[in-house]
Amino acid sequence: MLYAWRTPGVEFLPHATVILDPDNTFQADALLRLLPDRGGRTRVNEAGYLVGPPELVVEVAGSSASIDLRDKLRVYRRTGVIEYRIWRLAEAPFDWLYLEGDDYRPQAPDGQGLLQSRTVAGLCLPLEPLLKLDSQQVLAPMLKQ
């Protein structure tokens, strides 16, 4: 949310309903989208729902892990969601997936332990503080910008 607030042309939406195609409408836990005038691929329809694949989707997976890692992953991949993040709370891993071709590939942290978006310029999260819920350290890279 802080990143979107500080970045023109990017919108953060928690719990947004997204119509990905005629057969698949999901409510993502959170998403970032580029606005259409910045090259974004989503639009808001007359009913107020987002239509089309957002650039980045985040799911926090507690009891929904099997749905997030199977059903939603397949649909997000097929419809072209470029970055998909799944935080599996019970296991503590944070999957940062990037769409290459027609499949997701895991994206590892860089040498400084930062997970950097390939789609949304300047978005980076330090993995270790994220998993420890250390919000001050998670926000530190964004506050330096």
Q: How far apart are CA 101 and CA 63, in angstroms?
A: 30
* Statement: residue 115 has pLDDT above 60: yes
Q: b/e for 30-65, b at 16 or more Cβ within 10 A?
A: bbbbbeeeeebbbeeeeeeebbbbbbbbbbebeebb
Give the pLDDT confidence score for residue 99 in this predicted structure. 95
Q: What average pLDDT does the segment 59-81 reach?
A: 81
* Statement: residue 96 has pLDDT above 70: yes
Q: Could you tell me the residue ranges of all domains in the chain? A: 2-109
Among residues of the chain, what percentage have pLDDT more than 70? Answer: 92
Q: What is the CA radius of gyration of the chain?
A: 15
Architecture of domain 2-109: Alpha-Beta Complex (3.90)
* Statement: residue 55 has pLDDT above 90: yes
Q: Any idea which of 20-29, 41-50, 58-67 has the lowest mean pLDDT?
A: 58-67
* Statement: residue 26 has pLDDT above 70: yes
* Statement: residue 66 has pLDDT above 70: no
DSSP character at residue 48: S
